Structure 1
Amino acid sequence: MLCAILLIAVYPILLSCSNSSETTSTEEEDKTIKADGVVAADGTGDYKTVQEAIDAAPDNAQESYYIYIKNGIYKEVITVPRNKDHIHLVGEDAATTVLTYNNYASRIKPDGSDYGTSGSASFFVRGNNFVAENITFENTAGINAGQALAINIGGAHSSFRNCRFLGHQDTWYAGNGTYQYLKDCFIEGSVDFIFGGSTAFFDNCQLESTRNGYITAASTPEDQAYGYVFHQCTLTARSEIAKSSVYLGRPWRPHAQAVFIDCAMDKHIQQSGWHNWGNPDNERTAFYAEFNSRGWGASPETRVSWSRQLPAEEAVKFSYDKVIAGKHPDFIADDINLDIEP
């Protein structure tokens, strides 16, 4: 009899089969986690929608609740409520497990009001200690729709690995006082597509510009130690994007903080690097810095005078250990199996 145990490797999820009559060792059993729920749009799981699976999770949980999502396009506005902590979503494949919707800020709701920027998201994270792996979060409102979030993160601590965030203006948002760790993720957008006041560490991620604009619009609170740190990330653009047409960031709030460490920047990056959002006062308060940027878009000598090129001894202050270690939930270990057998 075939089994359905999914081995989560660094990126892909592989199907592993064995004879169910064989004796499983204690060591092997210890390396298996039973999925608490399986979502499948075709009806072959426990739930047909992601929201149903989340709603079924226990309130105020103290340990991870694992939801496996089979390949499919799930068009639904999804919310992880405040009382649903430790939700852990695992997709079958990042490219083909797609959570999507098409709301946008000026779209009118049935009650006659509009969604507004924060309300336009396809996915809302309000519970604490949320984790997602191998999933696409998408907003398909289009490049001319204005603000249209793929995700709105309000939960205090969250982690994302091998996830894709697709949209245009305001794709990825996380609120003040929250912490996010993003590992091996892809984020695309046009204007301010990574924004908000959170502490976020982007580790080996790809940032893809869909037109000329701004990558970040941080609103870091004045008393917060860190804003955005991009570590060994790659900054790319669609082929039609003009040379020197995309800024690394502009300050949504005066004390915006964004730091790029060991990042590769393609030719779409503005040689001046940063924008003051039309307010010279922001130049005195925003903290914009780089260390060891490379590629055509890395141009220390032409950056605005109020940004910083960090020496090595300053750059170490923005390491994973300093910024985010111990402040985000863990991913499933690479040698752990997720069992989705009923």
Structure 2
Amino acid sequence: MSVGAQSIYDQLSGKIDIIVDINGSGDFTTVQEAIDSISDNNDTWKVIFVRKGIYYEKVVLGYAKTKVILVGEDVYNTIITYDDYANKVLPGHTFSTYTFRADAPDFQAYNISFECTAGDRGQGVAFHGNGDRQILYHCRLLGNQDTYFDNIRARRYIKDCFIEGGVDYIFGFGVTLFDSCQLHTSRTSGYVTAASTPQYYEFGYIFKNCRLTTGLGVSSFSLGRPWFDWANTVFYECSEPEGLSSAGWSPWAGRENTCFYREYICFGPGSDTTSRVVFGKQLDPSRASRYITDTIFAVSNFPTYLGYDGDTAELMHIYRRFEASGYPERAVIMLKGGRDTFPEYPSENWSPVFYDDVCQVIKNNTFRMMDSINGKIHIENMLLDGTGLDGFDPEVTSYGIELDESDTTGPVISLVSDDALVSVEYPASIPGLVKMTALSRDKVNGTIYSVYFSKDSAYGDTELKMIVINYTDTVPLEPGVMEYDIRLQPGATKVSSLIIYTK
């Protein structure tokens, strides 16, 4: 990266058609308004530049809004976010939970984040891709369950992106190449993929030169499980961490018997394949050379040779699965993807081409998602209502703040850092504990700071009394003694619980 004196906005001068600024200094204050202002069936690229901000909106790029380019000012601070989840919208209706839904073909996004904050309340899609020939470059897709979805008969090239989730967070029917992306699993026993590739496709999901990572405390995850029969997923020369389950992949209702799950020359502490499940295999080296964009996105990947009967059977296979679940109408809505009719197979080969005027500026002014610099974290200070905390030491993670007896709330607490992703959780009442989590940008490394809002010197007067191990063994604490030898009960192989009691 060679960052110049000019901002990204200045370097894109003359190439921007529409500016979105939540603070009112642009053409529009919402992303949806900017999209709606573009003529239908547009045949020249239109660049929408989105200023820094949190854009709480549910956005649809309609099928007729072609050749739209969305560019964020800062990938970490330009965020389109919403909080829908399946049972909030309609029972089990994942496909209405999107934050951003891109129905149109020939859509590109750069340097922007798409987020669903539903958390563990159920399925919630951050990016829902329906249109063909879509490109995402240096974007973040953030969620928990079902973060990213792509629809049938559509191709997508996703490069240098950060994709996060806990359960099936990359799922769908599309043909997508994930190139040099970071795939971040945020919960133990999670699943990266839940592909549903239609039968007879040579390619489905391809992860090439990607880095798989886990969040703090995440101990095990799976590469994927098959949402529908014939799931096709390949991890090609990817970095696999220690947290990857030795089995590699997971079964799902017998559909693993039809899936195509492969790895090819992966590396890292999780890449040992000696204990992989029988349906997770190594890619035949004779086929490795086919995993390039021109082949993956060729028309020949789609079984047009099966004619009308094959076309209908592919759609009906999906429809009947939803019908059996009691939601056939949702299959129709999902499959049409914003159109009036069902999508046809792509009719032309596709070689993805970035919009160079934008792509080069983003490339020259950002660090790649897999760059090691994104794993570093520097905390300069802690602020209380905007004022630095005297004596703050970034290596010290526990603090106490004495409040007046009449105070009902504590000060606003923040951390000063150029490279940390910071979240703050305040107590429901005081006295109480504030929890601040500072993560590196790749979310692999982090520090948790605790600040106790105290009254009557409760924080400073705390007296430790005992430690309880595995809920049964007690160890009295003695003043001034900082180290203890603890003997576990016979047969105990680990410490599953450690509780410290105070007076």
Give the structure-2-normalised TM-score: 0.58
> Matched residue of 1:52: which SS?
helix
Native 8 Å contact 1:100 1:122 kept in 2: yes
What is residue 324 of structure 1 aligned with on the other side? 297
> Matched residue of 2:54: which SS?
strand
What is residue 59 of structure 1 aligned with on the other side? 40
Deviation at 1:312, TM superposition (A): 3.2
What is residue 252 of structure 1 aligned with on the other side? 227
Native 8 Å contact 2:102 2:130 kept in 1: yes
Higher strand share: 1
What is residue 88 of structure 1 aligned with on the other side? 69
- For 1:85 and 1:187, how far apart are their aligned partners in 2? 25
Deviation at 1:165, TM superposition (A): 0.3
Deviation at 1:301, TM superposition (A): 1.4
Deviation at 1:306, TM superposition (A): 2.0
Native 8 Å contact 1:39 1:48 kept in 2: yes
> Matched residue of 2:40: which SS?
coil
Native 8 Å contact 1:161 1:331 kept in 2: no
What is residue 28 of structure 2 aligned with on the other side? 47
What is residue 301 of structure 1 aligned with on the other side? 274
Greater CA drift, 318-327 or 191-200? 318-327
Aligned CA distance change for structure 1 residues 11 and 101 (closer, same or farther; 3 Å): farther
Of 4, 7, 22, which residue of structure 2 is paired with 1:15?
7
Task: Structure 2: state its 5+ residue gaps.
Answer: 299-349, 363-503
Q: Does 1:199 align with 2:171?
A: no
Deviation at 1:116, TM superposition (A): 1.4
Aligned CA distance change for structure 1 residues 231 and 307 (closer, same or farther; 3 Å): same
Native 8 Å contact 1:95 1:136 kept in 2: yes
Bigger Rg, structure 1 or 2: 2
Superposed counterparts of 1:246-285, under 5 Å: 246-279=221-254, 282-285=255-258
- For 1:327 and 1:311, how far apart are their aligned partners in 2? 25
Of 240, 260, 263, which residue of structure 2 is paired with 1:290?
263
Aligned CA distance change for structure 1 residues 314 and 62 (closer, same or farther; 3 Å): same
How much is the aligned-residue C-alpha RMSD, in angstroms?
2.4
Q: Which has the higher contact order (CA 8 A, sep 6+)?
A: 1
Aligned CA distance change for structure 1 residues 10 and 56 (closer, same or farther; 3 Å): farther
Of 100, 103, 110, which residue of structure 2 is paired with 1:126?
103
Deviation at 1:320, TM superposition (A): 2.8
Aligned length: 309
Deviation at 1:13, TM superposition (A): 10
- For 1:89 and 1:32, how far apart are their aligned partners in 2? 15
Residue by residue, what CA displacement relative to the aligned partner does 1:52-109 show, whole Å, maximum 9, x if unpaired?
Answer: 000001110112111000111100000101110111001101111100000000004x
- For 1:228 and 1:12, how far apart are their aligned partners in 2? 36
Residue by residue, what CA displacement relative to the aligned partner does 1:274-298 show, whole Å, maximum 9, x if unpaired?
Answer: 112131xx34320000111111111
Deviation at 1:269, TM superposition (A): 0.9
What is residue 103 of structure 1 aligned with on the other side? 84
Q: Does 1:154 align with 2:130?
A: yes
The AA in structure 2 aligned to 1:219 is S
The AA in structure 2 aligned to 1:81 is G
Aligned CA distance change for structure 1 residues 215 and 17 (closer, same or farther; 3 Å): closer
Native 8 Å contact 2:8 2:361 kept in 1: no
- For 2:99 and 2:5, how far apart are their aligned partners in 1? 25
> Matched residue of 1:305: which SS?
coil
- For 1:255 and 1:33, how far apart are their aligned partners in 2? 47
Native 8 Å contact 2:98 2:127 kept in 1: yes
- Percent identity over the alignment is 37
What is residue 117 of structure 2 aligned with on the other side? 140
Aligned CA distance change for structure 1 residues 13 and 306 (closer, same or farther; 3 Å): farther
